[in-house]
A and B are shown apart, each in its own frame.
Chain A
Amino acid sequence: MRLDLILRVGAKLVLPFILLFALYVQFHGDYGPGGGFQAGVIAAGMVILYAIIFGIRAAKQIAPPSIVEFMVPLGVLIYCGTGIVSLLLGYNYLDFTGFHPDFLRAHEWGILIVELGVLVTVSSTMIAMFYAFAQRGRR
């Protein structure tokens, strides 16, 4: 795979757009199809494509396992923490009404933050699973 020039250059051309598309899907989820899950899986797919083409060692430089494994619980904590913030603002758990004076804006902010938590957990879990399976194969 190291010598396959077309694959390597083609992958390098495509990779930033995959990540950009993931971010688009994440932040445009209120207005078009998409959301945290899809964005997380697409972002993880970028890292996995990079690992397949350039090797797992190169992939670990752009997504170090320490950071990935830190992000797995971080997303759940972001989600949980959003609920606690809404509790502190005087509303029910995960009721986003207090985040902004305008009702719709408040709920859009809440959805965005919660989806960010989903993105973090889903993408890092998928990357961590891929690393675990791929490393098992090294003999």
Chain B
Amino acid sequence: MTPLATPLAPAAGHVAAAVEKVEPNVEAFIMMVVLTLLAAITIAIVKQRNMFGVVILSGIYSFLMASLMMVLDAVDVAMTEASVGAGISTVLLLATLHLTGSMEYPQHRSIAIPLFVSLAVGAILVWGTIGLPEFGIADAPMHQHVAPTYIEYSKNHQMPPNMVTAVLADFRSFDTFGEVTVVFTAGIGVLLLLQGGWRATSNNRRDDDDDEDVEDAVHGNKEGSSKTAGGRNA
């Protein structure tokens, strides 16, 4: 194990030479500010009753989270969070709000038990967290195991410079395969729930006329005929 740890061992001297623009303390300070903003947005989400407000706040939350990930040096994740969290899920949430209405009704039940459960879980988590290694130090246990190997591979031109892409698509390609399958399955599930399975109660989908033949070609004749029947009822 010890030879693997060598790339990290001479850290301090090299960091001072290479990164003189960004002081570690400045990084930590920016991070704390963004984290505090995140906590504020979260409390606003909890208290907000208007669902449109909740969706917009969750978009802001995702962008803040993406900037935080940038500060945490997770550039690929930040890019994904900005495009997926703030883009696609906000659009899908707004599309759902359009279908369901945007006001949350006042609550009748007591919030004592949920509050107690959440705070108890939070207390246990805080108690468990104190034992973790402090933030940002280079000799934490998780930096000693596989990460030096990846850095070494990248240095020796055995894998592309972007370690995240290389690990994602090459070292852990089975993992990614499973994930693509999950996305595929979820897509099929959404299409089945919203486009197929035509029931008598759902009378609210009628396509434009010029879309009908394309759609029928995709979904087969049987479903297309039942769809036109549904459209006639509407």
Contact = CB atoms under 8 A, between A and B. Distances in A.
Do the two chains touch directly in the complex (Cβ atoms below 8 Å apart)? yes
Interface of A: 25, 29-38, 41-42, 44-45, 48, 52, 57, 60, 64-66, 69, 72-73, 75-76, 79-80, 83, 93-94, 96, 103-104, 107-108, 110-111, 114-115, 117-118, 121-122, 124-126, 128-130, 132-139
Contacts of B168: 35
Contacts of B127: none
Nearest to B87: A45
Q: Closest 3 A-B residue pairs measured CB to CB?
A: A125-B187, A30-B160, A133-B95
A137 to B, nearest CB: 5
Chain A interface helix/strand/loop/mixed:
helix
A56 to B, nearest CB: 8
Interface in B175-233: 176-177, 180-181, 183-184, 186-188, 190-191, 194-195, 204-208, 210-211, 214-215, 217-218
Chain B interface helix/strand/loop/mixed:
helix
A27 to B, nearest CB: 11
B194 A69 contact: no
Contact of B184 (A121, A134, A135): A121
Given A30-B166, A32-B162, A136-B204, A72 B187 contact: yes
25 contacts: A31-B160, A33-B162, A34-B165, A41-B84, A48-B91, A57-B208, A57-B210, A57-B211, A66-B218, A79-B176, A93-B174, A94-B177, A107-B159, A111-B169, A111-B170, A118-B180, A126-B88, A128-B187, A128-B190, A132-B195, A133-B99, A135-B205, A138-B204, A138-B205, A139-B206
Interface in B85-118: 87-88, 91-92, 95-96, 98-99
A98 B8 CA distance: 33
B158 interface: yes
B170 A136 contact: no
B48 interface: no
Contacts of B76: 33-35, 38
Given A33-B75, A41-B83, A110-B169, A76 B181 contact: yes
B84 to A, nearest CB: 5
A64 B215 CA distance: 9
A76 B166 contact: no
Interface in B150-169: 157-162, 164-166, 168-169
A41 B195 contact: no
B99 A136 contact: yes
